[in-house]
Amino acid sequence: MTTETASPPALSPNAGRLAGATALITGASRGIGRAIAEAFAREGADLFLSATARANLADIEAHVAAAGRRVAGAAADVADEASVEALFAATVEAFGGIDIVVNNAGIYTGKPFTEYTADEFDRVMRVNAYGTFHVMQLALRHMQGRGRGKIVNIASTAGKWESPNQAAYNASKHAVVALTRCAALENAAAGIRVNAICPGFVETDMIGEFEGHAARAGMEFDAFKAAMAARIPTGRLLQPEEIAHIAVYLASPESDGMTGQTISISGGMRMG
Ligand code: NAP
């Protein structure tokens, strides 16, 4: 039986829940990734942040630095393997070791199944599925060498259930769930924990991509969004911070007993 834990160094009683930890977060410029960066910084983690353009990170980097955390960043396209390798190397160089990796970068394309071009399908798979795979592979090798680590993947309710007019996104998020479970199983004894969060509708720029769905339904976007909220038992879309709370838990020692889990947060839209 291994005595290793997945956690970063022990916390002092008054420290944040991630004190002493270093984390790499992809897609940290806005939306859910930015909220996770803010929450991790509040809990005492040092952060390496990434997005497709470095300029997009300026605001969140300044915010994290103002909280007294060490922060660095780099542009990387997670769909590009060489770009991911450079990102990972830069993170290791900046911090020496990586305790937590959050695979959050993602894109959305919605349209009826029969209307997707192969290129559109490919791009969504490249960013959401291959991107997560590339980062996870490097993270797992790094963490195996240290005997500990936490990987948090941002999947979606679309990764666990069917949904109309988003076959490519749905397929990519089902892949993220499968990658989470397989990596968790293979790496549990090595002290590494791999879990996913499956959000429903979260109020971010990505929801703007639903304008096509609204047009298809012959509705104004605001009316379409109101109809979306009405389908949610809690009556509202989620806020990015609500996803970040779960990410903190999955990154912290509090969740050391969990791996391979896919935690849904959807205002009750999906249960189970
Ligand atoms: P968002 O506001 O559109 O932000 C997406 C983030 O991903 C941005 O930081 C963006 O960086 C980055 N990104 C996009 N393509 C990238 C690439 N090729 N390489 C590296 N970074 C890239 O979206 P969000 O709603 O916060 O979504 C974050 C994650 O949550 C995604 O995986 C999404 O699928 C998932 N999710 C969202 C919802 C929702 O309702 N919003 C629901 C379930 C799951 P740039 O600044 O460079 O563009």
* Tens-level pLDDT at each residue, the chain (272 residues): 444 566 655 544 447 999 999 999 999 999 999 999 999 999 999 999 999 999 999 999 999 999 899 999 999 999 999 999 999 999 999 999 999 999 999 999 999 999 999 999 999 999 999 999 999 999 999 999 999 999 999 999 999 999 999 999 999 999 999 999 999 999 999 999 999 999 999 999 999 999 999 999 999 999 999 999 999 999 999 999 999 999 999 999 999 999 999 999 999 999 97
Residue type, 261: Q
Q: For residues 135 and 213, state if they share a domain.
A: no
Q: For residues 98 and 31, state if they share a domain.
A: yes
Q: For residues 89 and 215, state if they share a domain.
A: no
Q: For residues 37 and 50, state if they share a domain.
A: yes
Output the domain CATH number for residue 164: 3.40.50.720
Q: For residues 139 and 103, state if they share a domain.
A: yes
Q: For residues 180 and 166, state if they share a domain.
A: yes
Q: For residues 232 and 109, state if they share a domain.
A: no
Q: For residues 135 and 229, state if they share a domain.
A: no
Residue 4 lies in a domain: no
Q: Total domain count for the chain?
A: 2
Residue 269 lies in a domain: no
The answer, yes or no, to whether any atom of ligand 1 lies below 6 A from the CB of 78, is: yes
The answer, yes or no, to whether any atom of ligand 1 lies below 6 A from the CB of 264, is: no
Q: Report DSSP letters for 157-188, one per residue.
A: GGGTS--TTBHHHHHHHHHHHHHHHHHHHHHT
Distance CA 45, CA 21 (A): 5
Domain that holds residue 233: 206-237
Residue 176 lies in a domain: yes
Q: For residues 40 and 170, state if they share a domain.
A: yes
Q: How far is the CA of 12 from the centre of ligand 1 (A)?
A: 34
Q: For residues 188 and 62, state if they share a domain.
A: yes
Q: Report DSSP letters for the chain, one per residue.
A: -----SS-SPPPTTS-TTTT-EEEEES-SSHHHHHHHHHHHHTT-EEEEEESSGGGGHHHHHHHHHTT--EEEEE--TTSHHHHHHHHHHHHHHHSS-SEEEE-------B-GGG--HHHHHHHIIIIIIHHHHHHHHHHHHHHHHT-EEEEEE--GGGTS--TTBHHHHHHHHHHHHHHHHHHHHHTTTTEEEEEEEE--B-SGGGGGGHHHHHHTT--HHHHHHHHHHTSTTSSPBPHHHHHHHHHHHHSGGGTT--S-EEEESTTSS--
Catalytic pick among 108, 116, 130, 169: 169
Contact 54, 25 (CB under 8 A): no
Q: How far is the CA of 183 from the centre of ligand 1 (A)?
A: 22
State yes or no: is 169 an active-site residue.
Answer: yes
